[in-house]
Amino acid sequence: MKPPKYLFASLISLVACAVTTNAFTIQTITAASPTLNIDLTSYPGNTSFLQGAYHLYWRVDKSASIIYLALDVTTAGWVGFGIADPDGGSMRGSDIVTLSVSSNQTHSVTSLTDRYALQHSLPNEDICNQWSLTGGWQSGNRTVVAFHRNLDTGDTQDRPITAGDVKIVVAYSADGSKQVAYHGSKKHASSVTFFEGKVKSISPVPGEVVTVWNYTNPPTPIVAKETKYVCTGFTFKPTAQGSNTTVTGQIVQIAPLIDPSTVMYVHHYVVYACDSKSPKYQQILNNPTECLTDGFFIFDICPTSIRLWYAFYSFIYLSSCNHDHIYNIPSVYSTGWAPGGGALTFPANVGLPFGNANDTFDSSSLVIEVHYNNDEPNNTPNLTDISGLSITYTTKKREHDAGIMVVGDPNVLGGFMPFGSSRIEKQFICPEECTSKWPWDINVFGSALHMHAYGKQIWTGVTTPSPSGGNLVITSDLDRDNFYEFTFQHISMVNRTIKRGDRINVHCVYDLTTNLFPKQRPNDTGVTFSLGSEDEMCMEFIYYYPRFPTSPQFDTCGLYENETTTCGEFDKNGTISLKIQNPVSPGSATADPVINGDIAFGTDFSNGTCVFDAAHLALVPNGTVVYQKPIATNATNTTNITNTTNTTAGTPTPSGAGNTAITSWIVAIVAAVVVAMVIVV
């Protein structure tokens, strides 16, 4: 492809640091021009953010694996662009480039600095610059810059730019300064498709006929308010063609329907299955109503929510509410939208059942809760939103129903953590004694890791016997988020088998340096594991098939009361617990190797050479460790530890007050997860 056209050729290029050495900032000098000398029409892709103040342009040369970018921003100061952590989406973990243009009557000097961010602070400068600077132009309160780089540099201080949705962060100077500093409100997080990959479509199933069912909200005004939640009731009761007979079947795909005129205001939305007889449900049926207020909380309508179902690779999420026991109800979620993309497509032999009132998976009376985020309330346009969702279903049952289990600390019993430490790690296990009770191995196709605001890193390791035999085991990642953000919860696409007898360890790392909620919790001396967004959690939602026939038995696994372990079993007396220590301490027989927590991003594995060959990249940790299985011993000082080499592992002890107690905890989990989505990007 041709490079961008310029009316004035570059006079000279000044490189402050060579690209192949310790490089921070590069500069280019071009002739001064009274008119824009960068041809923005040469970029086929473009979008805008921040009320049109920030325009992003792109062109991808796939044959050369190069991306060309241009920014046109309403500022006389610095501008910033970043490729965000794909598992998060915020500034932490982002690959960032900052640029500025200084002009006089004869020439313009454009400066570019390659950076990376590990914290919410001034981004670090890369050891090795990977960007090439094409040029820049600045006039009055407008700055335009053009630059390019390889899609994948191999540099572990960079993020690869991939096909499909790419999470990005953008920002610019709040005061017109050329010196990079705090951006204030002049920042945004979103996602962009720079180029398409393989289109994810519904897998063809012989003899299967699918039907698409669409729902859009009644027109809902965008208001001059930074954060607003609006709830609207609707029903999902598809009927047979040419009749009023309600059909049963399975959902095979769910996709967002985002109103393109309001996409920048729709932050996320949640869909609940609720009690249609509730007076408040009838009040909001087909009637957009502000919710999550003192007078209207969603759990007033769904007082006994069952369980949040996260689904990967999508833009919506569903949870469910019911007045009975704990069951798996479908849901979908995401932190950002791009019109026309983001469909969740289930494996060809898997679906989500609906339409059978006797099936605990059924959900027909729904509520869509939309979070509207208006970065600039003082500049609110006269717009209404009609976003919704598209459900593709079949009336021919597929081979498997999908199931869900929660591992780690599913009952939110992790205890108390005092303020003062910048790093506290909790490691909760679902031991082999539990997974060996499963009726069969499971195929995992989705994962959602969950903490609250103090959480900074979370990952799950699965330990299984090595194919090499002997006493070797392999611990490898099931899912990982090294730069976890409370406001950017991530859904992962997974293709993994967990076998009966494997061990699952959920690791959560917290930063308790200071109280993050001094107004809401001024007297707190630390953080407790509990239900509110000011409290903490540590869990993973695992989406699998085939669903266990004993569900809801084995739908949870991990910490239980008095630092014991639950496999998710219960009887008429309540939850059954095993005397297996939970959580576990680093270095113990049931703990994962310490190296498993290493973070690669931000470390220069080239050792200053800026050469990223196979030898250097072999040093990058990948979350997989092979080691000798430690020999477990009976504890002598702690009564609730048992010999973990014994598959019967302790005496099952009933606790609690039956399924009602379990349900109440799951209600808490759902409530906290939903509260966690109260986001202002």
Least confident of 62-76, 335-349, 368-382: 335-349
* Residue 651: Cβ-neighbour burial (10 angstroms; 0-12, 13-18, 19+): exposed
Q: What are phi and psi of 377, to 5 degrees?
A: -60, -30
Write the pLDDT tens digit of every residue in 76-127.
Answer: 999 999 999 988 888 999 999 999 999 888 888 999 999 999 988 899 999 9
Same domain membership, residue 421 and residue 351: no
Write the pLDDT tens digit of every residue in 30-40.
Answer: 888 889 999 99
Least confident of 243-252, 369-378, 571-580: 369-378
Task: Indicate the helix (H) or strand (E) that contains 281.
Answer: helix 279-284
Nearest to 123 by CA among 93, 144, 100, 145: 93
Place 495 in a pLDDT band, splitting at 50, 70 and 90. Answer: very high
Report the pLDDT averaged over residues 53-69.
Answer: 96
Reduce the DSSP state of residue 597 to 3 states and report it: helix
Same domain membership, residue 219 and residue 172: no
Q: What percent of the chain has pLDDT over 70?
A: 77
Nearest to 186 by CA among 79, 47, 95, 111: 79
509 strand-pairing partners: 425, 457
Q: How far is CA 416 from CA 379, 528, 535, 597, 661, in A?
A: 44, 4, 10, 22, 22
* Residue 221: Cβ-neighbour burial (10 angstroms; 0-12, 13-18, 19+): middle
Number of DSSP helices (H) and strands (E) in the chain, helices first: 5, 42
The answer to whether residue 599 is domain-embedded is yes
Place 672 in a pLDDT band, splitting at 50, 70 and 90. Answer: very low
Same domain membership, residue 494 and residue 374: no
Assess whether pLDDT exceeds 70 at residue 496: yes
Q: What is the dihedral of CA 231, 232, 233, 238, to 10 degrees?
A: -130
Amino acid at site 203: S
Write the pLDDT tens digit of every residue in 629-646.
Answer: 776 543 333 333 333 333
Write the pLDDT tens digit of every residue in 115-158.
Answer: 999 988 899 999 999 999 999 999 999 999 999 999 999 999 99
Task: Please report, for the domain that includes residue 363, its CATH number.
Answer: 2.60.120.310
Same domain membership, residue 419 and residue 375: no
Domain count, the chain: 3
Same domain membership, residue 325 and residue 301: yes
The answer to whether residue 666 is domain-embedded is no
Task: Please report, for the domain that includes residue 453, its CATH number.
Answer: 2.60.120.230
Asked which of 401, 436, 459 is the last residue of a domain, the reply is 401
| Region for residue 140 given its phi and psi (left: phi exceeds 0; alpha: psi -120 to 50; beta: otherwise) | left
Max Cα–Cα distance, the chain, nearest Å: 85
Distance of alpha carbon 553 from alpha carbon 573, whole angstroms: 14
What's the confidence (pLDDT) of residue 214? Answer: 93
Same domain membership, residue 137 and residue 225: no
Nearest to 169 by CA among 25, 333, 54, 258: 54
What's the confidence (pLDDT) of residue 640? Answer: 33
Token pair in block for residue 340: 């026309």
Assess whether pLDDT exceeds 90 at residue 426: yes
Nearest to 652 by CA among 585, 531, 549, 553: 553
Same domain membership, residue 505 and residue 427: yes
Mean pLDDT rounded to a whole number for the chain:
78
Q: CB–CB of 486/676 below 8 Å?
A: yes
Same domain membership, residue 471 and residue 378: no
Same domain membership, residue 417 and residue 391: no
Same domain membership, residue 599 and residue 483: yes
Same domain membership, residue 547 and residue 476: yes
Residue the block writes with tokens 């540590």: 538
Q: CB–CB of 14/93 below 8 Å?
A: no
Distance of alpha carbon 530 from alpha carbon 415, whole angstroms: 8
The answer to whether residue 97 is domain-embedded is yes
Least confident of 222-231, 601-610, 625-634: 625-634
What's the confidence (pLDDT) of residue 490? Answer: 65
Q: What is the pTM of this model?
A: 0.75
Asked which of 401, 431, 459 is the last residue of a domain, the reply is 401
Assess whether pLDDT exceeds 50 at residue 585: yes
Asked which of 383, 401, 419 is the last residue of a domain, the reply is 401
Same domain membership, residue 418 and residue 370: no
Nearest to 330 by CA among 350, 304, 302: 350
Distance of alpha carbon 474 from alpha carbon 472, whole angstroms: 7
CB atoms within 10 A of CB 457: 22
Q: Residue 263 belongs to what domain range?
A: 210-401
Place 292 in a pLDDT band, splitting at 50, 70 and 90. Answer: low
The answer to whether residue 5 is domain-embedded is no
Q: What percent of the chain has pLDDT over 90?
A: 40
Distance of alpha carbon 541 from alpha carbon 539, whole angstroms: 7
